[in-house]
Amino acid sequence: MNANPHNPAKEGSSCSELRTGVAELEGLYGSFTVSERVIQQVWLHQDFDHRDLTLESGESLEVVDPGVWNHLEGPDFKDAEVRINGRTLKGDVELHLYPEDWNRHGHSSDSAYRRVVLHVTLFAPSGAPSGRVLVGGSLPLLVLLPHLDEDVEAVLMRNAVKVEGDPDWREHPWMQGFLFGDDGIRRLSVLRSKGLVRWKQKVGYAVRRLEKNAWDAACHQIMLEVMGFRRNRAPMHELALRYPLELWEKGLIDPAAMFAEAGSGWILTGVRPHNHPLRRLESYARWVHRHQHWPESFYGACRDLWKCQPAAARDTKQYRRETGLVGLSRHFREGFFDGLFGESRHATLWCDGLLPLLAARTGCLSLHEPWFHWYVGDMPGWVQLAAEAVIRMEPDTDIVQCNGLSQGLLELALEYQSAASS
């Protein structure tokens, strides 16, 4: 992800390619797998912003008819109709994760794909347009990522798990089985074990991040990525790579110029004014100038507080009382981070980035306990509702909303999606 903020397949980005029609990405809620089937569902429902659709060639695009979803051999959608620069084209549409997949899958020499008039991919080309050649001609390419109204993980959740915003989310088979198929002890045990899966994923990703970056750089990347939630995590990550922390500390950063540099990489549809990426960049620039060498200062402040706390299967209220987590969270949010984040975003920063990164640096996996009992950060609405339902069903246990419960529910949903797509 160097020259192109849309391409998470580059080194240092948050995506690793699996070459099997799926890609593993590091989302706000941890590592997850997205398949081509999910991208096909996005195209089927036209679940993206149609304003100012532009091909990689610079030509305008209008989707008149997405076509009929083809579940057999051949192009993904048959008999579609599109307009490119006002010129009507009728034919088929093929979808991939990456433009290069066109040649990898052998479509260039396959006569079944001669009627394809549009190639749609999630990610942008990694370099030369080698994946867009069709039987001696140039195949129009639409990159979907800049036109999504949400981050990829949220789109996956909504299109594959089908629970986001659904008032009947409890009627879905996987949730029915979880809520009503086990007794209370088993239910909480499942959530704890699934939460542990996500913790290990996050720590594993943090380890890989530290293998490529120094501590200061890794913290700098995490801060900007969280500030880009939900829609602008990828361009924020790119800017963190391009402009290292020392430039920010020296006051050599022009947030307006950085915002303009990312250009069409930003997804601004539906972004609230205080979450606008330019405002976030300006806030971070001011904060870094006041907090020189903040990553090492942060590590020093945490080292004694969280040094290998012993794991214990205690309820959240008891854990927060005994460890002083309430005061600790408030101290960092209002003191160290100086109001840079609101409550939910601050919790996201810790659960998605800082605690896994501390565990990766120290090798202290028992930091899982404060991670599990931490406050809930930015989560899909259905997760909060499902967690509340679990809590209501356990009247004899002293449990409350916590990060670990929510993470366990996310893991259950993603496992269901993975099984349904296979």
**Least confident span in 7-21, 166-180, 358-372:** 7-21
Query: What pLDDT score was predicted for residue 4?
Result: 31
**Angle subtended by helix axes 215-227 and 294-303, to nearest 10:** 100
Query: What pLDDT score was predicted for residue 172?
Result: 66
| Residue 88: exposure state from Cβ atoms within 10 A (0-12, 13-18, ≥19) | exposed
Q: Give the best-scoring range by mean pLDDT among 14-28, 41-55, 99-113, 222-236.
A: 99-113
Question: Which of the four pLDDT bands, split at 50, 70 and 90, describes residue 319?
Answer: confident
Mean pLDDT, range 339-368, rounded to an integer: 90
Mean pLDDT, range 202-206, rounded to an integer: 86
- Answer yes or no: is pLDDT of 220 > 90: yes
Looking at residue 110, what DSSP letter applies?
-
CA 368, CA 200: separation in Å to the nearest integer?
A: 9
CA 34, CA 122: separation in Å to the nearest integer?
A: 10
- Answer yes or no: is pLDDT of 19 > 70: no
Mean pLDDT, range 360-379, rounded to an integer: 89
Question: Which of the four pLDDT bands, split at 50, 70 and 90, describes residue 381?
Answer: confident
Contact 390, 368 (CB under 8 A): no
Query: What pLDDT score was predicted for residue 18?
Result: 30
Query: What pLDDT score was predicted for residue 131?
Result: 39
CA 261, CA 344: separation in Å to the nearest integer?
A: 29
Could you tell me the two tokens for 63? Answer: 């989707």
pLDDT tens-digit profile of 236-265? 888 998 999 999 999 999 999 999 988 767
Single pTM value for the model: 0.69
Query: What pLDDT score was predicted for residue 159?
Result: 55
Mean pLDDT, range 272-289, rounded to an integer: 92
- Answer yes or no: is pLDDT of 407 > 80: yes
Could you tell me the two tokens for 281? Answer: 């960049």
Q: Closest Cα partner for 215 from 120, 136, 294, 108? A: 294
Q: For the chain, what percentages of helix, strand and coil (3-state, to nearest 5) are there?
A: 50, 15, 35
Query: What pLDDT score was predicted for residue 169?
Result: 60
Query: What pLDDT score was predicted for residue 14?
Result: 36
Q: Where are the beta strands (DSSP E) in 44-171?
A: 61-65, 68-69, 77-84, 87-96, 116-121, 133-134, 137-138, 141-143
- Answer yes or no: is pLDDT of 270 > 50: yes
Query: What pLDDT score was predicted for residue 116?
Result: 96
Long-range contacts of the stretch 412-417 (C-beta < 8 A, 24+): 412/174, 412/178, 412/190, 412/191, 412/194, 413/157, 413/161, 413/163, 413/174, 414/32, 414/33, 414/161, 415/194, 416/161, 416/173, 416/174, 417/156, 417/157, 417/160, 417/161
pLDDT tens-digit profile of 135-145? 334 799 999 88
Mean pLDDT, range 99-121, rounded to an integer: 92
- Answer yes or no: is pLDDT of 166 > 70: no
- Answer yes or no: is pLDDT of 364 > 50: yes
Q: What distance lies between CA 303 and its chain's CA centroid? A: 28
Question: Which of the four pLDDT bands, split at 50, 70 and 90, describes residue 9?
Answer: very low
Higher pLDDT, 60 or 172: 60
Instruction: Work out the mean pLDDT of the chain and round it to a whole number.
Output: 79
Mean pLDDT, range 322-341, rounded to an integer: 89
**Least confident span in 90-94, 159-163, 290-294, 353-357:** 159-163
Residue 414: helix, strand or coil by DSSP? helix
Query: What pLDDT score was predicted for residue 273?
Result: 85
Query: What pLDDT score was predicted for residue 380?
Result: 76
pLDDT tens-digit profile of 56-94? 999 999 999 999 999 888 999 999 999 999 999 999 999
**Which strands form 15-17's sheet, in the order they lie side by side?**
15-17, 22-27, 30-35
Mean pLDDT, range 370-393, rounded to an integer: 86
pLDDT tens-digit profile of 57-67? 999 999 999 99
Contacts with 117 (C-beta within 8 Å, 6 or more apart), sequence order: 80, 82, 89, 90, 91, 92, 93, 140
